[in-house]
């Protein structure tokens, strides 16, 4: 994702790539990641060093659940707006981030998914939730994804739950011959199943069941390029915000 963001920002006519951070490859010109000629921008391993030297407007973070909170706080401390695609941020951390961002009068966008099709999938699922008694979510990602379930699956469950709070998780007398085989239970009502395999990128099905029928809403990202229009949208919008905006749909569905 970092490489794809580098290429996308580098090619955007209304943006300048200020710097790049990675714990590996320090001192290398980012051209090795872009596949272009020399840029003069070198990889640095320390985020705060880059922020203080380049003074960017926005930081885009695709790192790990263990690093992301510290990165957000570092950006805000240095008067930089974070755009965060790293999943695994605890919901209890968001109010703290929001408080810091508002104090610094900065915007911060945290998005479980930047693919516009995935946002539409969640939007359509929220509408379908009003009419079906049961729903389950199957999310499938590449085998190197660290967190499960995905942030997108959790966000989908939250959005569905906002529309209808009385989903039935299944038969009360279910017997799991293999513990966990029925997936994780979100808020005691929505089952989420996670698949991790090589060859996958990011895929999700929301399956609604009712008398005599099933409705499946599915989204597939076959390459990381699918997330870039949403990343660009977030970069352009975050500088106009104050505080945390959680979920890119809050911008997408307000667009004229």
Structural domain boundaries enclosing 127: 116-169+181-221
The number of folded domains in the chain is 1
- Contact between 180 and 230 under an 8 Å Cβ cutoff? The reply is no
Chain centroid to CA 152: 7
Residue 210 located in a structural domain? yes
- Contact between 241 and 108 under an 8 Å Cβ cutoff? The reply is yes
All residues at 6 or more sequence positions from 27 whose CB lies less than 8 Å from its CB, including other chains: 42, 43
Residue 136 located in a structural domain? yes
Please give the torsion angle defined by the CA atoms of residues 93, 99, 100 and 102, in that order, rounded to the nearest 10 degrees.
Answer: 140
Strands (E), 25-145: 43-44, 58-61, 81-84, 107-110, 134-141
What stretches in the chain show pLDDT beneath 50? none
Alpha-carbon span 7 to 29, nearest angstrom:
13
The CATH number given to whatever domain includes residue 122 is 3.30.360.10
Alpha-carbon span 184 to 196, nearest angstrom:
15
Alpha-carbon span 225 to 82, nearest angstrom:
20
Residue 138 located in a structural domain? yes
Residue 70 located in a structural domain? no
Tokens of 88: 């695994």
Q: Which residues are catalytic?
A: 141, 145
Residue 56 located in a structural domain? no
Instruction: State phi, psi for 210 to the nearest 5 degrees.
Output: -145, 180
Q: Output the pLDDT for position 95.
A: 94
Alpha-carbon span 209 to 135, nearest angstrom:
6
Helix (H) or strand (E) segment spanning residue 229: helix 228-238
- Contact between 203 and 113 under an 8 Å Cβ cutoff? The reply is no
Q: Output the pLDDT for position 16.
A: 93
Residue 21 located in a structural domain? no
Q: Output the pLDDT for position 173.
A: 66
pLDDT digits over 164-205, tens only?
766 665 555 678 888 888 899 898 889 999 999 999 999 999
Q: Output the pLDDT for position 167.
A: 63
Residue 80 located in a structural domain? no
Nearest in space to 183 (alpha carbons), one of 214, 216, 148, 233? 148
Q: Output the pLDDT for position 231.
A: 95
Q: Output the pLDDT for position 33.
A: 83
Q: Output the pLDDT for position 160.
A: 93
Q: Output the pLDDT for position 26.
A: 83
Reported pTM = 0.80
Residue 15 located in a structural domain? no
Helix (H) or strand (E) segment spanning residue 192: strand 190-196
Alpha-carbon span 116 to 120, nearest angstrom:
6
Q: Output the pLDDT for position 238.
A: 96
Q: How many CA atoms lie within 13 A of 189 on its CB side?
A: 15
Handedness of CA 232, 150, 108, 217 (dihedral sign): positive
């Amino acid at each position: 994702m970092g490489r794809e963001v580098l290429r996308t920002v580098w090619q955007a006519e209304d943006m300048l790539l200020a710097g790049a951070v990675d714990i590996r490859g320090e001192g290398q010109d980012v051209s090795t990641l872009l596949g272009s000629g020399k840029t003069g921008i070198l990889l640095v391993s320390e985020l705060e060093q880059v922020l203080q030297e380049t003074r960017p407007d926005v930081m885009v973070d695709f790192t790990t659940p263990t690093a992301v909170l510290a990165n957000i706080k570092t950006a805000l401390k240095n008067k930089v707006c974070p755009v965060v695609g790293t999943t695994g941020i605890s919901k209890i951390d968001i109010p703290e981030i929001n408080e810091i961002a508002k104090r610094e009068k900065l915007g911060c966008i945290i998005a479980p998914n930047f693919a516009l099709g995935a946002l539409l999938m969640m939007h359509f699922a929220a509408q379908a939730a009003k009419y079906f008694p049961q729903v389950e979510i199957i999310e499938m990602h590449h085998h190197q994804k660290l967190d499960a379930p995905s942030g997108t699956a959790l966000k989908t469950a939250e959005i569905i739950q906002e529309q209808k709070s009385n989903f039935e998780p299944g038969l009360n007398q279910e017997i799991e011959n293999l513990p966990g085989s029925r997936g994780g239970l979100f808020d005691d009502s929505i089952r989420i199943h996670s698949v991790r395999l090589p060859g996958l990128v990011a895929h999700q099905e929301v399956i609604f069941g009712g008398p005599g029928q099933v409705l499946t809403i599915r989204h597939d990202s076959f390459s990381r390029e699918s997330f870039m229009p949403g990343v660009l949208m977030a970069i352009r919008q975050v500088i106009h915000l104050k505080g945390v905006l959680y979920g890119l749909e809050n911008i997408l569905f307000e667009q004229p």
